[in-house]
Chain A
Amino acid sequence: MSLNEEVELLRQIPMFQKVEQSKLKLLAFTSERLTFPAGEMVCEQGEPGDSMYVIVQGDADVIVNLPNGPLTVAQLHKNSFFGEIAILCDIPRTATIKATTELVTLRITKDLFYRLVSEFPQMTIEIMREIAFRLDRTTQDLQQARNDLNKLQGAD
Chain B
Amino acid sequence: MERNVFSFILKYSYRQQIVLVLLAVVNMPFTMLGYTLVEKIVNEGIQGFRKVPEQVTQADGSVIEKSVKTSIEFPEAVFNIGPEFDQVLFLFVLVGMFLLNILLLQGIKYALNVYRGVTAERMLRRLRYALFQRILRFPKPTFKKTSQGEVISMITGEVEPLGGFVGECFSLPVMQGGIMLMSLGYMLIADWKLALAAVALYPLQFYIIPKLQKRVNLLGKERVKRVRKLSEKIGETVTGIGEIHAHDASNLELATFSERLNGIYYIRLQIYIWKFIIKFVNNFIQQLGPVMFYSIGGYLVIKGELDLGTLFAAISAHKEIGAPWKELLGYYQRQADARIKYEQVVEQFAPAGLFEEERLMSEPESPVRFEGEIKASGVTLTDDQNNSILDSVSFALGLDKRVALVGGGGSGRDELAEVMARLIDPDRGTVNYGEHLLQGLPEAVTGRRISFVDNAPFIFNLSLGDNLFYGLKHRPLKEATYEGDKKKERDSYVTEAQASGNLDYDLAADWVDYQAAGVEDNIGLRRAGIEALKVVGLDEDVYQFGLRGRVDPEKRSDIAEGVLKVRKALDERLTDPSLAVLIERFDPAAYNSNASLAENLLFGTPVGDTFDLDHLAEHPYILEVLEKVGMTDQMVSMGYQAAATMVELFSDLPPDHELFQQFSFVSSDDLPELQGLLAQYTKDQLDGLKPHERTRLMSLPFKLVQARHRLGIIDDSVKAKVLEARKAFADNLPDDLSGSVAFFDPDRYNAAANIQDNILFGKIAYGQAQAQDRVGSLMREVMAELGIIETVSEVGLEFEVGIGGSRLTGAQRQKLALARAVVKRPDVLILTEATASLDTSSQARILDGLLTDFEGRSIIWGVHRPAMAERFDHVLVMKGGRIVESGSFEELSKEGSALSQLIAAEAA
Q: Which residues of A contact B (CB under 8 A)?
A: 1-4, 6, 22, 25-26, 28-30, 32-37, 40, 42, 111-112
Contact = CB atoms under 8 A, between A and B. Distances in A.
Contacts of A22: 648-649
A3 B578 contact: no
Nearest to B663: A30
Which of A25, A37, A111 has the largest count of B CB atoms less than 10 A from its CB? A37
Interface stretch (B477-485, B601-609, B707-715, B798-806): B707-715
6 contacts: A22-B649, A30-B662, A34-B768, A35-B769, A37-B769, A111-B659
B767 A35 contact: yes
Contacts of B766: 32-33
B37 interface: no
A40 B769 contact: yes
B578 A37 contact: yes
A32 to B, nearest CB: 7
Contacts of A34: 767-769
Given A6-B710, A34-B767, A35-B767, A29 B578 contact: no
Interface string B751-776: 00000000000000011111000000
A35 B581 contact: yes
A34 B650 CA distance: 23
B658 interface: yes
Contacts of B710: 1-3, 6, 28-29
A29 B767 contact: no
A42 B769 CA distance: 8
Nearest to A27: B649
Contact of A25 (B578, B581, B649, B662): B649
Which of A25, A29, A40 has the largest count of B CB atoms less than 10 A from its CB? A29
A102 to B, nearest CB: 10
B711 A2 contact: yes
Interface in B582-637: none
Q: Which 8 A-B pairs have the closest CB atoms?
A: A2-B712, A36-B769, A33-B767, A34-B769, A3-B710, A30-B663, A26-B649, A37-B578
Interface of B: 578, 581, 645, 648-650, 658-659, 662-663, 709-712, 766-770
A101 to B, nearest CB: 13
Nearest to B579: A37
A32 B707 CA distance: 11
Contacts of A112: 659
Nearest to B578: A37
A40 B712 CA distance: 30
A4 B715 CA distance: 14
A29 B663 CA distance: 8
Nearest to A42: B769
A25 B769 contact: no
A32 B770 CA distance: 12
A111 B659 CA distance: 9
Nearest to B715: A2
Contacts of B769: 34-37, 40, 42
Given A29-B663, A35-B581, A3 B712 contact: yes
A29 B645 CA distance: 10
Contacts of B768: 34-35
Nearest to B708: A32
Given A1-B710, A6-B710, A34-B769, 15 more contacts: A3-B710, A22-B648, A22-B649, A25-B648, A29-B649, A30-B662, A30-B663, A33-B767, A34-B768, A35-B767, A35-B768, A37-B769, A42-B769, A111-B658, A112-B659
A18 B650 CA distance: 20
A28 B645 CA distance: 12
Given A35-B768, A35-B769, A4 B649 contact: no
Contacts of B645: 3
Contacts of B649: 22, 25-26, 29
A42 B663 CA distance: 23
A4 B713 CA distance: 11
A34 to B, nearest CB: 5
Nearest to B650: A26
A1 B706 CA distance: 10
A35 B580 CA distance: 13
A3 B709 CA distance: 8
Contacts of B711: 2-3
A34 B658 CA distance: 21
Contacts of B648: 22, 25
A18 to B, nearest CB: 18
A41 to B, nearest CB: 9
B712 A4 contact: yes
Contacts of B770: 40
A98 B658 CA distance: 30
B638 to A, nearest CB: 14
A29 B709 contact: yes
Nearest to B649: A26
Contact of B659 (A3, A4, A30, A32): A30
A29 B767 CA distance: 12
B208 to A, nearest CB: 81
B802 to A, nearest CB: 31
A36 B774 CA distance: 12
Nearest to A40: B769
Contacts of A111: 658-659
Contacts of A28: 710
Which of A1, A3, A6 has the largest count of B CB atoms less than 10 A from its CB? A3
B578 A32 contact: no
Contacts of B659: 26, 30, 111-112
Nearest to A99: B769
Contacts of A1: 710
Contacts of A33: 766-767
A2 B706 CA distance: 9
A129 B672 CA distance: 40
Nearest to A112: B659
A16 B411 CA distance: 65
A28 B578 CA distance: 25
Contacts of A30: 659, 662-663
A48 B659 CA distance: 22
B134 to A, nearest CB: 55
